[in-house]
Amino acid sequence: MAVRAKSINPVVIFGGSAALLFVALLTVGPLIALWMRADVSTRLSGSNWSAIRFTVFQATLSAIISISLAIPVARALARRQFRGRALLLTLLGAPFLLPVIVAVFGLLAVWGRSGFVSQLLIASGGERISIYGLTGVLLAHVFFNLPLVARLILQGWGQIPAEHFRLAAQLGMRPADVFRRLEWPMLRGILPGAFLLVFLLCTTSFAVALALGGGPKATTIELAIYQALRFEFDLGKAALLGLVQFSICAIVAFWSLRAAVNANFGGGLSGAVKHWDASSQVLLWQDRLVLLGVSAFLGAPLVAILIRGVPSLGNLPVTVWPAAVNSVLIALSSAALSVFLALSLAAMIDLLKSRDSRLSSTVEGFGMLTLAASPFVLGTGLFIVIHPVADPFALALPITALVNAAISLPLTLRALLPALQRQRLVYGKLADSLGMSSWVRFRVAIWPEIRRPLGFSTGLAAALSMGDLGVITLFAPPNVETLPLVMYRLMGAYRIEDAASVGLVLVSLTLTMFWIFDRGGRLGHQS
């Protein structure tokens, strides 16, 4: 062990440290840049404090609801094989990939005051529903995050070897026992990270929270930052708010990562898992209902987006295509960079785990915190740093790719780290004792274990970058557009229907890209 560890250490530590430095520069760097440019000291106002309270409140609630609903969905997916399962798995990726504004209109088509549900209620003599307020905010955040969490938890189920379920069946364990002995220990390892991820994603929510939140009660810190940067040009206040947001997220990150207890289920032959524990009719119908419910909840807004987008597909502006090429280019670059960063960090976190678990979760926490950095602070900070030395316009696309990579890092890290850790727990000692070279170890032990999460997370990272308006608004040179930018510009010019069509093109491209990577990772595997 000691001999092998020595020959592997420098590369892993160097790669990991470089990735960590990069992450630190992108998260803390912009805050410092803003602070240095600010001329007056500012304090937080009363409305800032209520924004902070609301942000934490809705993010916590969103995370708890998303997770509670995702567990039965993941369990149903784990123990049932049915036609259309692969399609459902891909669709589970969809809501998360939707550009915010597209998703809002999809949700309103179903849940809005003139939406499908309201029409149905009115037709049957009832009242129309109004989701504006906390309900709307939570609805949107659960719509975005439930499927993501379900996929992450499903990965956890995949980590429990088939042999365990067989043994459980032989021992005559009831479903409750299986949950207590196998599923709960697995969940204890996965859920804290998933909670953190949703919390972070909902913290920086801004347009959704405001549009569906029904008024200034639903103000998030992100809006306050936007206001400080745009209307008041108070860089100091923006930096201060950015710091508050960052600190809250850091506390939640370290708290939740320390709460995670990784179970070691050992290895298995990775055969198909048969769930004897779930063979009763009651459980079968329970799973069917769960899957049907989640398909309808996620599918209906997607269908609405499709219906809205189709009519104007014929008169798409020509600028869509070069913008699409830009978007795809940025997405692929940022996905590659994000996965590279995640692997570097994951390798270091895994290595540290056995030596100093506190340091290890600190590094992991930092990897997650790029999501806590406000995109506005990030963009403005980078602009302040770059503008004196180089032309920001010339760097627009690379910078967008870089920032998108950093923002998707928590996702790729979340997906890859458990697989890498499991690989070491299961095969690490065997590989050491066999004296495997790094390459052989990678090919035989690591690759088969990480290829699925790798495909999934590359797809996610690429997709996230596709839909993001991000820093391109600050850096975009004349005549360089991305698809989301084209969409927003159409909306700004009254062309809501054309914008819906561009939205549909964007969603289709994104979903295809996600599908290719995700499917690529699962090819030849029993999934």
Partner 1 sequence: MKRSLLTAALVTLCGAAWAEAPTLTVYTYDSFVSDWGPGPAIEAAFEESCDCDLVFVGAGDGAALLARMKLEGARTKADVVLGLDTSLIENAKATGLFAEHGIQPSGLSLPVTWDDSVFLPYDWGYFSFVYDKTRLSDAPDSFAALLESDVNIIIQDPRSSTPGLGLLLWVKAVYGSDAQTVWEALSPQIITVTKGWSEAYGMFLEGESDMVLSYTTSPAYHLIAEGDDTKAAAIFDEGHYMQIEVAAKVAGTDQEVLADAFLEFMLSETFQAILPTTNWMYPAVTPSGGLPDGFDTYSTQHALLIPAANVEAVRKEALAEWLSALSR
- 365 in Cβ contact with 349 (< 8 Å): no
Per-residue contact track with partner 1, 454 to 473, x per CB under 8 A?
-------------------x
Q: For partner 1, give the closer residue by CB, 90 or 473.
A: 473
| In the complex, minimum distance from the CB of residue 263 to partner 1, in angstroms, rounded to a whole number | 35
| In the complex, minimum distance from the CB of residue 480 to partner 1, in angstroms, rounded to a whole number | 7
- 79 in Cβ contact with 94 (< 8 Å): no
Query: Does position 207 bind partner 1 by CB under 8 A?
Result: yes
d(CA 462, CA 330): 8
H/E segment holding residue 157:
helix 134-159
Q: For partner 1, give the closer residue by CB, 288 or 387.
A: 387
d(CA 290, CA 277): 17
- 504 in Cβ contact with 309 (< 8 Å): yes
Q: For partner 1, give the closer residue by CB, 156 or 503.
A: 503
According to CB under 8 A, which one of 3, 40, 439, 494 is a site residue for partner 1? 494
Query: Does position 383 bind partner 1 by CB under 8 A?
Result: yes
d(CA 370, CA 463): 17
Q: For partner 1, give the closer residue by CB, 365 or 381.
A: 381
* DSSP-based three-state secondary structure for 449: helix
Please choose, out of 66-74, 173-181, 451-459, 474-482, the segment that lies near partner 1 by the rule CB under 8 A.
474-482
| In the complex, minimum distance from the CB of residue 206 to partner 1, in angstroms, rounded to a whole number | 7
Distances (CA, A) of 214 to 115, 126, 131, 135, 137: 17, 22, 9, 10, 9
d(CA 135, CA 65): 12
Torsion of CA 401, 406, 410, 411, to 10 degrees: 0
According to CB under 8 A, which one of 401, 409, 419, 507 is a site residue for partner 1? 401
| In the complex, minimum distance from the CB of residue 383 to partner 1, in angstroms, rounded to a whole number | 6
Distances (CA, A) of 30 to 23, 253, 301: 11, 20, 37
Q: For partner 1, give the closer residue by CB, 2 or 389.
A: 389
Q: For partner 1, give the closer residue by CB, 111 or 265.
A: 111
According to CB under 8 A, which one of 4, 489, 519, 522 is a site residue for partner 1? 489
Per-residue contact track with partner 1, 315 to 334, x per CB under 8 A?
--x-x---------xx-xx-
According to CB under 8 A, which one of 52, 74, 210, 252 is a site residue for partner 1? 210
According to CB under 8 A, which one of 216, 266, 271, 435 is a site residue for partner 1? 216
* 295: nearest Cα among 515, 82, 79, 510: 82
Return the axis-axis angle of helices 134-159 and 100-111, rounded to nearest 10°.
Answer: 110
Please choose, out of 138-146, 196-204, 207-215, 432-440, the segment that lies near partner 1 by the rule CB under 8 A.
207-215
* DSSP-based three-state secondary structure for 196: helix
Query: Does position 395 bind partner 1 by CB under 8 A?
Result: yes
According to CB under 8 A, which one of 167, 430, 496, 523 is a site residue for partner 1? 496
Tokens of 523: 């090819």
Distances (CA, A) of 499 to 317, 325, 486: 10, 18, 8
Per-residue contact track with partner 1, 39 to 58, x per CB under 8 A?
--------x--x--------
- 339 in Cβ contact with 457 (< 8 Å): yes
Q: For partner 1, give the closer residue by CB, 395 or 444.
A: 395
Q: For partner 1, give the closer residue by CB, 172 or 215.
A: 215
Q: For partner 1, give the closer residue by CB, 142 or 490.
A: 490
According to CB under 8 A, which one of 258, 477, 520, 522 is a site residue for partner 1? 477
Query: Does position 491 bind partner 1 by CB under 8 A?
Result: yes
Query: Does position 406 bind partner 1 by CB under 8 A?
Result: no
d(CA 462, CA 408): 9
Dihedral pair phi/psi, residue 520, rounded to 5°: -55, -40
Q: What angle do CA 366, 413, 206 make, to 5 degrees?
A: 70
Query: Does position 227 bind partner 1 by CB under 8 A?
Result: yes
Residue that is written with structure tokens 């990150």 in the block: 253
Per-residue contact track with partner 1, 231 to 250, x per CB under 8 A?
x-x-----------------
d(CA 239, CA 230): 13
Residues 6+ apart with CB under 8 A from 147: 70, 91, 92, 93, 94, 95, 96, 294, 298
In the chain, the amino acid numbered 504 is L
Per-residue contact track with partner 1, 274 to 293, x per CB under 8 A?
--------------------
- 310 in Cβ contact with 507 (< 8 Å): no
Q: For partner 1, give the closer residue by CB, 61 or 474.
A: 474
Q: For partner 1, give the closer residue by CB, 153 or 405.
A: 405
Please choose, out of 128-136, 247-255, 421-429, 512-520, the segment that lies near partner 1 by the rule CB under 8 A.
128-136
Window 135-174: residues binding partner 1 (CB under 8 A): 136
Residues that bind partner 1 (CB under 8 A): 47, 50, 101, 104-105, 108-109, 112-114, 130, 132, 136, 206-207, 210-217, 223, 226-227, 229-231, 233, 317, 319, 329-330, 332-333, 336-337, 340, 380, 383-384, 387-388, 391, 393-398, 401, 473-474, 476-480, 488-496, 499
